[in-house]
Structure 1
């Protein structure tokens, strides 16, 4: 369905794009440093799961609606910014003992869902997929929907690989920095990062 050169170019581009500083990898970086590599990996799984939604949106034409409708774009943007602001508030106001407590299965589920919502509520991801994926689609080589689905899956794997490496590396750095009261300070800083991402998303234009 795809030529080898096309797949190689797509995967290479996906890896480079995942490495480029952006809300998702900064979110993973802040979470991993503050709460450990496992927390970062679970957040990564959530973020990458959200890409299923964006891939489906492109395949089904929903992303075009977000591109064409200022209202739809604004609703997603404001919703995402408010969610990030709420996360920042939760971290900044949480008691120190809560921030340094051992992770539980419930908090892991919360981290996963946080990653999913963080990704889904960023309209720029849908617009990026709408602009990026079709460049590698050739209608003469079969179903366009299937091709977009495969490309979306390959992008998810690329992002999972890059974000996973970021999680592991940042987790090791964080483990050193979290000694003593360092963990509380790092968590507070992660709250500041979330607040900054909220402002950045709020200022995004179509």
Structure 2
């Protein structure tokens, strides 16, 4: 059902996506810098859970509904865009996403919910999963649903592990960054701008009809 050559190609494609800069891996890196390895791991897991949400939605038709229903598409799009822009504005105002100062640690539940909502409320991963994963599905090898879930869960797992490792690695840079406040300021400004740009990109998304609809 999952031929080795296809699976390896799919894994490589997923890894390239995981290491591509984006708001979700920035969150994991920021958690690692400001709150340590456990927070980074929780943030990575939350992003993986957000991807898993999109996988389940794509597999069982919700993403297809969003693609074909104008009202559903724009409702999800605006909520996701607003959340990402709100995160970006908050980062720019507080400059505390990347923080090396002594500050009260955020509860792990809040870290998880922030990462999950950032991934789950962004419709781009859902539409991407719906367009990307089926390219590796072969109906002749068994249940399409099982293959979608298998490939999708693997993508979510790679996302969770990849983002967590990025955050854990960044936690080791805290001491070095203590003496570079301007660099940390630049990280916060860059992260805030990335969130806002991602939100605007979501807001400007146009509905695309899937093939055959």
| Separation (CA, whole Å) in 1 of partners of 2:23 and 2:57 | 20
| Separation (CA, whole Å) in 1 of partners of 2:37 and 2:183 | 14
Does the CA contact (< 8 Å) of 1:32 and 1:167 recur in 2? yes
Which structure shows the higher helix fraction?
A: 1
Counterpart secondary structure, 1:161 = helix
What corresponds to 1:203 in structure 2? Answer: 204
| Separation (CA, whole Å) in 2 of partners of 1:22 and 1:180 | 23
| Separation (CA, whole Å) in 1 of partners of 2:36 and 2:159 | 19
What corresponds to 1:162 in structure 2? Answer: 162
Cα deviation for residue 184 of structure 1 reads 8.2
Q: Which moved more, 1:181-190 or 1:126-135?
A: 181-190
Q: Which moved more, 1:159-168 or 1:171-180?
A: 171-180
Q: Which moved more, 1:145-154 or 1:71-80?
A: 71-80
TM-score, normalized by length of structure 1?
A: 0.82
Cα distance change, pair 84–31 in 1 and its aligned pair in 2 (3 A)? farther
Cα deviation for residue 95 of structure 1 reads 9.9
1:117-196 counterparts in 2 under 5 A?
Answer: 117-178=117-178, 185=185, 188-189=188-189, 190-196=191-197
Does the CA contact (< 8 Å) of 1:92 and 1:188 recur in 2? yes
Does the CA contact (< 8 Å) of 1:44 and 1:164 recur in 2? yes
Cα deviation for residue 187 of structure 1 reads 8.2
Task: Give the superposed CA RMSD.
Answer: 2.9
2:71 maps to 1:71: yes
Cα distance change, pair 201–75 in 1 and its aligned pair in 2 (3 A)? same
Cα deviation for residue 201 of structure 1 reads 3.1
| Separation (CA, whole Å) in 2 of partners of 1:191 and 1:15 | 25
| Separation (CA, whole Å) in 2 of partners of 1:22 and 1:94 | 20
Cα distance change, pair 187–8 in 1 and its aligned pair in 2 (3 A)? closer
| Separation (CA, whole Å) in 1 of partners of 2:34 and 2:203 | 24
2:103 maps to 1:101: yes
| Separation (CA, whole Å) in 1 of partners of 2:115 and 2:22 | 14
What corresponds to 2:2 in structure 1? Answer: 2
TM-score, normalized by length of structure 2?
A: 0.79
Cα deviation for residue 75 of structure 1 reads 1.8
CA offsets per residue over residues 108-141 of structure 1, 9 Å max, x none? 1101011111111111111111011111112222
2:13 maps to 1:13: yes
Unaligned residue ranges in structure 2 (runs of 5+)? 208-213
| Separation (CA, whole Å) in 2 of partners of 1:161 and 1:31 | 15
Cα deviation for residue 173 of structure 1 reads 2.3
